[in-house]
Every structure is written in C-alpha cells, then in structure tokens.
C-alpha cells in the first residue's frame, strides 16, 4: 500500500515510518529541510516532499491511505485546544479527498483522559466529526500523552477505555496506527487506546 504520513511529533512520526517500512508499505511524508528529508529516508520513507507550508494535497496525490497525526503533540494537553488549528486540519483532509484518497487513519488531538469540557476547547474535536461524516473509510483514534519510552507491544483498546496510565510509548501508538490501516475491524470506527495487556494486533481485531 502507498501511504502518506502527515504530522506527528518527531518521536511518533519516526516510529510510524519505521513500522510502515517494516511491513513493506511505500511511504511518502513531508520535511522542512533537505537534511531532515534525508534522515526520514534513512528511517523508512521512500519519498519526502520538502515543504515549509503544511499542505497535504501534493503528498496525497496517488496514495492509497493517509495516516494523519493531529494529536499527541506536546502542546495538546488539558484545555490547550487552541494549539490545534482544526480548520487547517479539515482543509488538509478536504485536499486529500480531492486527490481521491480512500482510507484515513486519524490520531486525534483529543486525549481520552481530558475533561469533557476540555475535549471541545478550541474546537479540536471538530475534525473527528468531519471525518465521520466524510466519504473516507476512516479510523479515528484517541489516546493519552505519547512519550519516548520503549514500547510494550501490548495495549487496551475499546470504544471507551479506562486508562491506568496517563502516558503511552510512541512505539505502541505507531504500531496501532499502522496495524489499523488494513484491519477491517477498525474501518469506520472511532475508539480509544491506552496501555494494556492485549497484543496490539489482537486488540484491534477484537474491536
């Protein structure tokens, strides 16, 4: 599958590239500068578009799926929704649709452990609503804060999850995003992911 990866903090984005590469997908992504592009290729990207503006259109051309990491950036915590420009996210997704991309795996900036009130701050939940109404075959994922710790290979997933820990390793979230791509049980579903004891593949398949 040809996959376009967009967004994500350094750690998470890199793990997604690595996981996609390991599964033999063709990977396209964006970088700010030539030297960073080279590094992303070393990690597993096949094609890197160098662009300073955050356009999605060019990268989405001719791909089968998009992994869109809107959330889990360090700023997107409790009541800090304004740091996510939901209008820009929706614009990007519209551009992807014009490029006839069919599948999207979307990591939401909304954290599952935020207060109900905080979940809507700055309208950061809006892209989720938009995606659910769109023509995409979608998977919308909410999780807790992602951190640079070694992955466990296990998670807990479900419509709503009671998280024991307020953080989850980048590696595990990356495995969830990549695992969800072709897993039919995740199609047109929105679910939550936290640290847990179930193998990732199994947790996704039993949704």
Residues that bind other proteins (CB under 8 A): 10-11, 14, 31-36, 38-39, 42-43, 147-150, 169-171
Alpha helices in the chain (DSSP H): 10-22, 34-43, 57-60, 86-98, 116-119, 126-133, 170-181, 200-205
Compute the least distance from the CB of residue 16 to other proteins, in Å.
13
The rounded radius of gyration (Å) of the Cα atoms in the chain is 16
Q: Toward other proteins, which CB reaches closer, 34 or 202?
A: 34
Min CB(167)–other proteins separation in Å: 10
Closest approach, Cβ 10 to other proteins, in A, equals 8
Residue 30 burial by Cβ neighbours in a 10 Å radius (0-12, 13-18, 19+) = buried
Minimum Å gap between C-beta 163 and other proteins is 17
Closer to other proteins by CB, 30 or 96: give it.
Answer: 30
Reading the block at residue 111, the tokens are: 């954290």
Q: Indicate the residue among 23 and 36 with the shorter CB distance to other proteins.
A: 36
CA–CA gap between residue 14 and residue 64 (Å, rounded): 20
> Residue 24 or residue 150: which is nearer to other proteins going by CB?
150
């Amino acid at each position: 599958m040809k996959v376009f990866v967009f967004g994500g903090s350094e750690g998470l984005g890199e793990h997604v590239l690595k996981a996609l590469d390991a599964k033999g997908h063709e990977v396209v992504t964006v970088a700010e500068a030539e030297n960073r592009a080279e590094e992303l290729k070393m990690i597993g990207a096949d094609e890197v578009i160098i662009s300073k503006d955050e356009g999605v259109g060019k990268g989405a051309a001719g791909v089968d799926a998009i992994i869109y990491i809107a959330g889990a950036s360090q700023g997107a915590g409790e009541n800090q929704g304004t740091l996510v420009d939901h209008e820009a996210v929706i614009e990007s997704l519209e551009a992807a649709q014009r490029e006839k991309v069919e599948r999207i795996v979307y990591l939401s900036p909304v954290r599952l452990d935020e207060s109900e009130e905080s979940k809507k701050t700055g309208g950061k939940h809006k892209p989720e609503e938009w995606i659910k109404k769109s023509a995409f075959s979608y998977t919308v994922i909410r999780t807790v804060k992602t951190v640079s710790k070694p992955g466990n290979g296990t998670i807990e997933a479900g419509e709503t999850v009671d998280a024991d820990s307020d953080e989850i390793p980048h590696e595990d979230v990356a495995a969830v995003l990549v695992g969800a791509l072709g897993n039919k049980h995740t199609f047109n579903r929105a679910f939550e992911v936290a640290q847990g004891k179930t193998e990732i593949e199994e947790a996704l398949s039993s949704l």
